[in-house]
Structure 1
Amino acid sequence: MTEGTTEVLDPEALGAPLGERATLVQFSTAFCQPCRATRQTLAEVAAMVPGVGHVEIDAEERLALVRALGVTRTPTVLVLDATGRVVRRAAGQPRTADVIAALGRAL
């Protein structure tokens, strides 16, 4: 996962509430096989860590947001802190250990 940017996402932009402590945002498409595995990984991590939410966004339905954030492939995962600031981002299917480590920067 790479370092985040100065981007901040609020619940209105996401179309979902932020997690109390951090939020894992996943950009997916319907026919993306790695997206399914990523969904499972992020859901498991969110269930393990109190206050962490998981939001999945259909990239094809939210093209304006995809373009604004520079998402070029799916899955793309953003790790947001409690305020919605992007602290880490990664493209491709993440490993559970990498997601947990990235959350450390957000918590």
Structure 2
Amino acid sequence: MERLDAAELGADLGDRATLVQFSSAFCAPCRATRRILGEVAGVVEGVVHVELDAEANLDLVRRLNVLRTPTVFVLDGSGRIVRRGSGLPRKADIIAALGEAVA
């Protein structure tokens, strides 16, 4: 499985997991996704949320085949992609995916 590192993301990875969100300027579901991921990262120790502008990161968007926003990737502590999804996520699904990432 593919890995992402801090240099590619422009931010440090979480010790346990990282929630990477690709967004665009006029994406209403992106705002709700930002809130959900921020809340989860705020209550789960060692988890960080990184939001990337899709238009400003086209090389990464193409490499990861991001076709719409929001698209969310769940990375384990080493930056390995363990889950991905697009559209507005449910908080329960994010928490379940984190369980997989930190296992």
* Pairwise TM-score range, normalised by the shorter structure: over 0.9
Matches for 1:14-33 after TM superposition, within 5 Å:
14-33=9-28
> What is the CA–CA distance in structure 2 between the aligned matches of 1:89 and 1:30, rounded to whole Å?
21
Matches for 1:1-107 after TM superposition, within 5 Å:
6-107=1-102
Name stretches of at least 5 consecutive residues in structure 1 with no aligned partner. Answer: 1-5
The alpha-carbon deviation at position 67 of structure 1 amounts to 0.3
> What is the CA–CA distance in structure 2 between the aligned matches of 1:10 and 1:61, rounded to whole Å?
17
> What is the CA–CA distance in structure 2 between the aligned matches of 1:75 and 1:21, rounded to whole Å?
22
The alpha-carbon deviation at position 58 of structure 1 amounts to 0.2
Task: Name the SS for the 1:90 alignment partner.
Answer: strand
Structure that is richer in helix per residue: 2
Task: Name the SS for the 1:35 alignment partner.
Answer: helix
Name stretches of at least 5 consecutive residues in structure 2 with no aligned partner. Answer: none
TM-score by length of structure 1 reads: 0.94
Runs of 4+ in structure 1 deviating by more than 2 angstroms, as ranges, are none
Task: Name the SS for the 1:61 alignment partner.
Answer: helix
The alpha-carbon deviation at position 54 of structure 1 amounts to 0.3
The alpha-carbon deviation at position 39 of structure 1 amounts to 0.1
Structure 1 residues 43-83: Cα deviation after superposition (integer angstroms, max 9, x where no partner): 00000100000000000100011001100000000000000
The alpha-carbon deviation at position 19 of structure 1 amounts to 0.4
Task: Name the SS for the 1:94 alignment partner.
Answer: coil
